[in-house]
Structure 1
Amino acid sequence: MNAPLNRTKRNLTIAKAMAEAIAEEMRRDPSVLVLGEDIGKLGGVFGNTRGLYEEFGAARVKDTPISETAFIGAAVGMACVGMKPVVELMFVDFFGVCMDAIYNLAAKNCYFSGGQSPVPMVLMTSVGGGYGDAGQHSQCLYGTFAHLPGLKVVVPSNAYDAKGLMLSAIRDPNPVVYMFHKALQGMGWLGTVKGAINDVPEDEYLVPIGKAAIARSGKDVTLVGLGATVHHALDAAAELAKDGVEAEVIDLRSLVPLDRETVLASVRKTGRLVVADDDYQSFGVSGEIIALASEAAFPQLKAAPRRVAFPDIPIPFSPALERPLLPDAAKIAAAARATLGKA
């Protein structure tokens, strides 16, 4: 569904785009409801449920006690009996106390029931560091959830995709983990990356789950990112362009299903690959993308692929220790130059 060409443009933050998408689905489908900590009158710590309580009331926008095990488990049960819960895990780091409900119930129930009992729920959760919030509130853990069969995983980098992916996620019969990066939300107290705020149609449209986007075209090197690292990659591409290097930037948008075809087409064209991921370096998305390129595009590779990721250590509390470890445009540009033999 495409938006009309003749309309007034409006720029939204990811937080507003998420809230708008959820509201639209709640109006369209009475089985959709929202639950989580502080998602009611407060409108969510990250602003993604603002206005919902005032419009739909406490019956469909439920503030829960501080027990992730209880309300994530309740969401799974609701989904199994025909409702469509959108449940917020405030920080992805809290997954440890409710992982059984996510992995052994939500992810596997459709398979275990032979397709007779799908779990149409959306688990939305914040990710990302850079705020001195330490190891309990700063992780991404993209690879952790992408590794678990039965879950779909999406990571929007801008408001347009945030709305379209949320609409697709709510309508999907499978459990979808919707991971939003704090640096992109548009909350004043967090700051935001300007590129995450973009034009969002009021009209209904869907961004398909499992389809990457080419954020910038190029022919010399492929830069792959997701969420916040898409913007780092775009900044790196702009810097590389000053040296005459045309970098192509791929925004994965979805981790599961992974759009392997778009990534491979780009790598086969450029022959060089850099993957930027603010999750931990080992056993994650960056390694999966590099393995994909090595297995399916090896003859076209002109240099060894490189990755820019967070080192395999707990995230420090001290900003002076944390910030130098985070991926950024300079690190991505340096990795790209290394593939070009210009380091």
Structure 2
Amino acid sequence: MTASCPLHLALPSLVGAALAAYLLFPDHLGLIASILIVATFALSYDLLQGHAGIVSLGHAVFFGIGAYTVAVLGGAGITEPLATLLAALAVSGALAGLVARIVVVGNDFTRLLVTLGVCFLFHEIANQMHWLTGGADGLSAFTVGPIAGLFAFDFRGRTAFFYALAVLVLVYLAVWRITTSPFGLALRGIRENTRRMHAVGAPVARHMAATYVLAGGMAGMAGAVLAQTSNFASLDMLGFERSAEVVMMTAIGGTGSIPGVILGASLFTWLKDALSAFSPKYWHLGIGLVLMASVFVLPDGLAGLPARLGRLMRRAS
């Protein structure tokens, strides 16, 4: 399925699968909510790479900034989740707007270096600003109030599940609308042939910068939800490892496919949890093997599996 997959088919399937998991695995709602949050983060990154062709190794910066926005505001007495979610969207989007000018220039290699440098820079800034971020200890001394004053986050994670699902659906709709609009078609042209888009007079740099801001804001929302549901914000939320993981998720799911990216993020998060529980010391080896296998067996990711099976069946017949 592609980004233009009919909304009436993909979105109800996503919601139905999430509700089924809620009913079948009531003791694992924390993990399920984490999967929904990570899927939201992966969608924000795929808007960059899968649709605009902007590669990045620093996308977690905006995820972490969203989380710290919630933590800092919560510590200052602003505890309404919807208000801090919007604040995280605004702060992360504004930061992405400042960084966008140096990211959209150059080629893929320079973007990788620049975004990697931005990732290390903000990680060290957050580490040094211990008075604001808590440094290596992170922030946990903040309060998250009930959603709209009605739904408090409970110990079993039921409110967190529905809240994370609602934000995922919201981001899903936003990405789907963006990528199926004329603006999204322009992004597809930029991804496939930037020189030709320049030749026809398209504002390539402006489109790429706008996409970077949108993706940064959505990543901030994902980070905000994680901080709200876990009541914690830490340096690893904006570190290189989280940026690398989101690249792996989109590769496994299939870049440019909204349902595929959600599947890839879900599989990666579940596999990471299962392998770390099975072998806390060597779980990275299992992730590496799965990633290598996915590249050779499914070069187009999970989204390309139906087409690959169709080709195999035609050859067999």
Structure with greater strand percent: 1
TM-score, normalised via structure 2 length:
0.27
Structure with greater helix percent: 2
TM-score, normalised via structure 1 length:
0.25
Structure with the greater relative contact order (CA < 8 A, sep ≥ 6): 1 or 2? 2
